Amino acid sequence: MLPALLIAYSALLAFLASRNFRLAVGVFIISLPSYLIRFNIGPGPSTLLELSFGILFLVWLIRYARQDIAGLRSLTSDYKIFTVSCFLFLVSSFVSIFVSDMWWASLGQWRAYFLEPMLVFIMLVGRIRKGVTMAPVDAAGRVSINDLILFLALSTIPVSLVALAQKFTGALYPPSLWDDSLGGRVTSFFTSPNAVGLYLGPLLLLTLGLIWQRSKRRWLFIVYCLLFIANLAALLFTKSLGAWIAVGIGLILFTYLIGYKKTTLTALVASAALIISVLPSFSLAKSQSLANRLTLWRYSWSYLTESPKNFLFGTGLRQFFRKIQKPHYDAKELERLIYPHNIFLNFWTEIGLLGLVGFLGLYFSLLVTSYSLYKHSDKILGATLLATLLAILIHGLIDVPYFKNDLAFVFWIIATIIMGTATAQQKSLAKIG
């Protein structure tokens, strides 16, 4: 039964992509959580999300790749730091497959977290409509920046609705990673509340940007507002302190950048007062969570500084528990984890020091390009992207905002929005000149 369903789905998506590539991209992005639907293709494991990517990318190669080469060449020539960082990031991640003691399992992780998301970036940057950033798509299978943001926002609907249903009905909970009670925290499709916060947090800020642009279609503006409210409620019900802080700082930055400086000052004072009032009642669970992270960071640093090989290459993909935590593991003190829960240590341990350098170069390039958009062309979009990038970094200081199928794709689609906008606008200016 399952093979027949997969064949039918593949045929329908391929037909859609060949007829309306823009809509097929929307289906792919809206269904990012479909990585949770898993099966085997021959001897190897796969997911519905991976199958969707493969079909979409194949159609792009056949129909559009030749048309898009010029745009990709322009990107590599105009943004050299970004290009070199991408190369370093990809090569380091590939090398980490063989640093691992389990290369076959690591190969699957590399494919899902690095190769496929970066190929989506290449595909979508090539498809970005040249010209005005928020213009409608043309008839040649192009995709606008606004499309990508809208599709990401729409992908939060099932995540938020399931989370809200869990909160108000107590049902629809998947198996938890923990043996103890969740304490009323929502998990949506995922196995932990933090996973909901990691997904919804950046996209909540992107949705805010859509609201601020005030679509000419009133019904669309109402949809954006409802999305924002639903996402915010779901985020609050996760009780994820890291997500709250990250989104809060992102919101403060956004209000400051769009000119509401008095509002920003008021928000900062209110936040400081709230923190001071909450600190005395800081729960044992939260303090224990922070203590656990400090322990993971200590273990990670000890491993990295143990030898030059460890310092340079890390553990290899998906080897954190086996090489770093396992020698100290006590189930009574700390659950089994697969990452050190810090964005810098996550990349360093997984793909080595050069991989971390590559990521930092990518992030720096995205920040600089977003700031340039904010200063010179699109204030609202630039402010939205800067707030989103900051939220990812802040939450990443105590969690894992990249190493999950959906999160890796989200990161590279956001990168597409930033670099695609910049490249499209440069092309437009060149034509005017």
309-336 tens-digit pLDDT? 999 999 999 999 999 998 888 877 778 8
Strand 38-41 relative to strand 44-47, pairing: antiparallel
Q: Which residues contact 353 (CB under 8 A, 6 or more apart)?
A: 311, 312, 313, 314
Q: Where are the beta strands (DSSP E) in 219-360?
A: none
Residues 206 and 254 in one domain: yes
Residue 433 has pLDDT above 50, yes or no: no
Picking from 63, 82, 111, the residue at the C-terminal end of a domain is: 63
Statement to judge: residues 92 and 199 lie in one domain: yes
**DSSP code of residue 324:** I
- Categorize the per-residue pLDDT at 394 as very low, low, confident or very high, splitting at 50, 70 and 90: very high
- Of the chain, the percentage scoring pLDDT greater than 70 comes to 89
Domain that holds residue 370: 64-432
Instruction: Among 43, 63, 83, give the residue marking a domain's end.
Output: 63
Nearest to 376 by CA among 327, 326, 421: 421
What's the mean pLDDT in 7-33? 95
**181 closest CA partner among 285, 42, 70, 83:** 285
- Long-range contacts formed by 7-10: CB under 8 A, 24+ apart: 9/48, 9/51, 10/51, 10/55
Q: Are residues 8 and 77 in the same domain?
A: no
Of the pLDDT bands very low, low, confident and very high (cuts 50, 70, 90), residue 216 is low
Please give the distance of CA 29 from its chain centroid, rounded to a whole number.
12
Same domain flag for 44 and 171: no
Indicate whether 138 pLDDT > 60.
no
Q: Which of 39, 63, 87 is the last residue of a domain?
A: 63
The pLDDT of 143-164, averaged and rounded, is 93
Q: Do residues 76 and 216 share a domain?
A: yes
The structural domain count of the chain equals: 2
Is the pLDDT at 432 greater than 50? The verdict is: no
Q: How confident is the model at residue 351 (pLDDT cuts 50, 70, 90)?
A: very high
Residue 137 is classified by DSSP as P
Same domain? 123 vs 2 = no
**22 and 116 inside one domain:** no
Residues 57 and 70 in one domain: no
196 and 283 co-located in one domain: yes
Task: Write out the two tokens for 42.
Answer: 């021959």
Using CA atoms, how far apart are residues 399 and 394, in angstroms rounded to an integer? 9
Q: Are residues 11 and 40 in the same domain?
A: yes
Residues 34 and 70 in one domain: no
pLDDT score, position 74: 82
Greater confidence (227 vs 141) lies with: 227
Provide the pLDDT for residue 360.
Answer: 98
The region of weakest confidence among 50-54, 154-158, 181-185 is 181-185
Residues in the chain: 433
List phi, psi (to 5°) of 312: -85, -40
- More reliable by pLDDT, 239 or 426: 239
The pLDDT value given to residue 365: 96
Verify that 288 and 245 share a domain, yes or no: yes
